[in-house]
Structure 1
Amino acid sequence: MNTRATNLSLVIFDCDGVLVDSEPLSLACLTAGLNRIGVAIDLATVRARFTGTSMASIMAHIAADYGITAPPGFVDAVKAETLALFDTELKAMRGVASAVSGLGLPVCVASSSDPVRLRHSLGLTGLLPLFGDHVFSSAQVARGKPFPDLFLFAAERMGAEPAACLVIEDSVPGVTAARSAGMRVAGFTGGGHWGHDPAGSDLVRAGATPIFSDFSDLAAVIGGP
């Protein structure tokens, strides 16, 4: 069965780890920040537990699991450090601009990032014009990923039925959210944080199919079975 033949009308992209190779940078900043306030956690654990998760959800988990409440200004400080690192090191995923522009389908972004970081990342990498105003943040909904709210919000704003949407995701919370929204989801493992598991076994278990790691394959992913 071909996805175009099943009335695909919208492709929804996550941002961090899909459009931009930001996760190695942001996860490193988050790990360092958590260590500073006494959270004994390493980068591998942060990557496994918090990739694709909003800062609000992360801090709630830290408080519940480690008994540490972040001091005032902590989240803003980590965000500022992350944006500063982005200014010098953030790159778009290889081949993403040409792949997205050549789809011939409506596209949008739905990300756990706050609106400032989201538009900053897309602007820095030259990707923002591909999406225009069709950039949606978890700050616009009551619950972030792994809940379906953000993807359903994006589909509604774009005038698409959930069953006619394909989501491109790199995280288990994102895949879970897309599946809960009744959407198809393909897993992307081309980001620097996926070096530990290029086959995306966690994404497969969460319900993503197919898995791809190079945007030169995007057209085949969308047009394939």
Structure 2
Amino acid sequence: MNPQADEAGARPALVIFDCDGVLVDSEPISLACLTAGLNRIGVAIDVETVRARFAGTSMPSIMQHIAADYGVAAPDGFVEAVKAETLRAFDAELRAMAGAAEVIAALDLPTCVASSSDPVRLRHSLGLTGLLPLFEDRVFSSVEVARGKPFPDLFLHAAARMDFPPETCLVVEDSVPGVTAARAAGMRVVGFTGGGHWGHDRLGADLTAAGAEQVVSDYPALARIIADPL
């Protein structure tokens, strides 16, 4: 029997938040920096293609796909340079999602973060936007597991570290790889479409098709789902 089906309708014991595109509106910035970097090394790709193919995935996975699909191997220092450019852009532009701090602070159940971003970027993003104190040391990165999203490893790792069974967890995700990973981990998942990088009409349908039980575009709606699930 599917444990997710058993838990449908139950209030979650733990809420696991993705970071980029869920807690912070970082994806328009990071996707633009990545696209510019790829163009500089000879990859003919636009930001919409980068968004569609790579949002929600880790840099090592992205570069593997670039090498396989475009025949371009990243020069030494490329990933580090893109990460540094992205962090500088964050300093000038990054904002928390509207309502995120208020809703998370008011939750009366445990929360954590599980993200494809590396630990330096994660803590920088959460610290810059004032969200880090809401999670403290409950921030988990894909570098801590063997396989990133869409595999379930990161979410299973976060649940284990938080000491909760996977079937009692609710994940909030903005990408198909993230939703796929949460479902593979046996967790419920809500799709989030409030980020500035999602401008196309199919996102909600894509997240639903990947396994999101509901899709929301703002934090008040998310708070209602957590308080009164299906």
RMSD between aligned alpha carbons? 1.6
CA distance in structure 1 between the aligned counterparts of 2:81 and 2:219, rounded to whole angstroms: 33
The alpha carbon displacement at 1:138 in A equals 0.2
The alpha carbon displacement at 1:197 in A equals 2.7
Structure 2 segments unaligned to the other structure (5+ residues): none
The residue aligned with 1:180 is 184
- CA deviation string 1:20-59 (max 9, x = no partner): 0000000000000000000011111000000000000000
The residue aligned with 1:107 is 111
AA aligned to 1:152 is: L
1:1-225 paired onto structure 2 within 5 Å: 6=10, 8-197=12-201, 200-222=204-226, 223-225=228-230
The alpha carbon displacement at 1:202 in A equals 1.1
Contact 1:185/1:208, CA 8 A, preserved across alignment: yes
AA aligned to 1:224 is: P
The alpha carbon displacement at 1:7 in A equals 5.4
The alpha carbon displacement at 1:4 in A equals 9.1
Contact 1:198/1:213, CA 8 A, preserved across alignment: no
The alpha carbon displacement at 1:142 in A equals 0.5
Contact 2:25/2:94, CA 8 A, preserved across alignment: yes
The alpha carbon displacement at 1:6 in A equals 2.4
CA distance in structure 1 between the aligned counterparts of 2:8 and 2:92, rounded to whole angstroms: 39
- Distance 1:210-1:219 versus aligned 2 partners, 3 A rule: same
CA distance in structure 1 between the aligned counterparts of 2:190 and 2:201, rounded to whole angstroms: 16
Contact 1:23/1:191, CA 8 A, preserved across alignment: yes
- Distance 1:5-1:62 versus aligned 2 partners, 3 A rule: closer
CA distance in structure 1 between the aligned counterparts of 2:155 and 2:118, rounded to whole angstroms: 15
| Equivalenced residues, count | 225
- Distance 1:196-1:7 versus aligned 2 partners, 3 A rule: closer
Structure 1 segments unaligned to the other structure (5+ residues): none
The alpha carbon displacement at 1:206 in A equals 0.5
The alpha carbon displacement at 1:194 in A equals 1.1
Contact 1:190/1:198, CA 8 A, preserved across alignment: no
The alpha carbon displacement at 1:173 in A equals 0.5
Q: TM-score, normalised by structure 2?
A: 0.95
CA distance in structure 2 between the aligned counterparts of 1:5 and 1:173, rounded to whole angstroms: 24
The alpha carbon displacement at 1:220 in A equals 1.2
CA distance in structure 2 between the aligned counterparts of 1:119 and 1:197, rounded to whole angstroms: 31
